[in-house]
């Protein structure tokens, strides 16, 4: 598939903005997947191609956090479990009731937004973990990775919820861990889509380069501003994603929005 140069440049601009937002609060696909669909890609190709720029973007954000020393030895097992869950999700794609997941997701995202908006847990310093890090790595992280492989939207918010609510990470550390887990699950599902031949590579690579630049800037902004930037961005992204998903044709909540 070929696109006109002006359309490709516009997609790259959308990817840059999405990368900046995604590095701070997740939800970059809220912008890039609809943009790819509007550019003429069919739904499967849009989701598959979006994994290219999402992988580039989360990879760039992960690298920015790594350069500032935000990852320790526990990071690699966590990334591995996220990737394993994502691969299983991609393999199980045909057998998972996606309609049920899609119907429940807006409600879940609103609850996540309320948690981050009202909870005092979003702080700069780490607290005492509510669950063992090994248990969260072995059980919770692969579940979110599985969801990312099956469906995807909001995965970063769910990773963030686990790291803040269960492990009591400080906000910047939680964002850093989220980007690493998201990168691993994105890369794993990208490999699966690539094997299936569903990616429009020229579009994905052009958007990926732009999203990498936006993600690097977003990661730096998150490290510099901490909770005062990350908390409102998380709430806004979760609510925007919830509304966007609820407005899709056939969703039972669509009637509430007219």
Give the pLDDT score at 126: 83
Q: At what angle do helices 5-25 and 155-165 cross, to 10 degrees?
A: 10
Q: Is 30 in a helix, a strand, or coil?
A: helix
| Cβ–Cβ < 8 Å for 29, 18 | yes
Give the pLDDT score at 247: 81
Tokens of residue 230, six digits: 């990350």
| pLDDT, mean over the chain | 87
Return the percentage of the chain with pLDDT > 90, whole number: 45
Question: pLDDT-based confidence at 31, cuts 50/70/90?
Answer: confident
Please write the tens of the pLDDT for every residue from 2-20: 678 889 999 999 999 999 9
Annotated domain spans of the chain: 5-257
Tokens of residue 32, six digits: 């890039």
Distance CA 173, CA 169 (A): 6
Tokens of residue 244, six digits: 């966007």
First to last CA, the chain: 36
The pTM (predicted TM-score) of the whole model is 0.84
pLDDT at 124 over 80: no
17-18-21-25 Cα dihedral, nearest 10 degrees: 180
pLDDT at 55 over 60: yes
Q: Is 229 in a helix, a strand, or coil?
A: helix
Q: Is 3 in a helix, a strand, or coil?
A: coil
């Amino acid at each position: 598939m070929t696109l006109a140069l002006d359309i490709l440049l516009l997609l790259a601009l959308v990817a840059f903005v999405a990368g900046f937002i995604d590095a701070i609060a997740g939800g970059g696909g809220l912008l890039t997947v609809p943009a790819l669909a509007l550019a003429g890609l069919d739904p499967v190709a849009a989701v598959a191609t979006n994994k290219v720029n999402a992988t580039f973007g989360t990879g760039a954000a992960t690298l920015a956090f790594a350069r500032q020393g935000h990852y320790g030895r526990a990071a690699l097992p966590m990334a591995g479990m996220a990737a394993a869950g994502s691969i299983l999700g991609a393999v199980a794609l045909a057998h998972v009731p996606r309609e049920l997941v899609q119907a429940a997701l807006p409600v879940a995202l609103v609850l996540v937004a309320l948690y981050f908006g009202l909870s005092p847990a979003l702080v700069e310093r780490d607290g005492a973990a509510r669950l063992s890090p090994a248990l969260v790595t072995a059980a919770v992280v692969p579940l979110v990775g599985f969801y990312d492989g099956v469906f995807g939207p909001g995965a970063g918010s769910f990773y963030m919820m686990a790291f803040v609510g269960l492990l009591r990470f400080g906000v910047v550390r939680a964002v850093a861990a989220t980007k690493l887990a998201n990168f691993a699950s994105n890369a794993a599902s990208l490999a699966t889509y690539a094997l299936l031949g569903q990616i429009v590579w020229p579009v994905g690579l052009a958007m990926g380069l732009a999203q990498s630049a936006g993600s690097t800037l977003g990661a730096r902004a998150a490290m510099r501003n901490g909770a005062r930037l990350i908390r409102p961005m998380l709430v806004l992204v979760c609510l925007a994603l919830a509304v966007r998903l609820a407005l899709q044709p056939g969703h039972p909540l669509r009637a509430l929005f007219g």
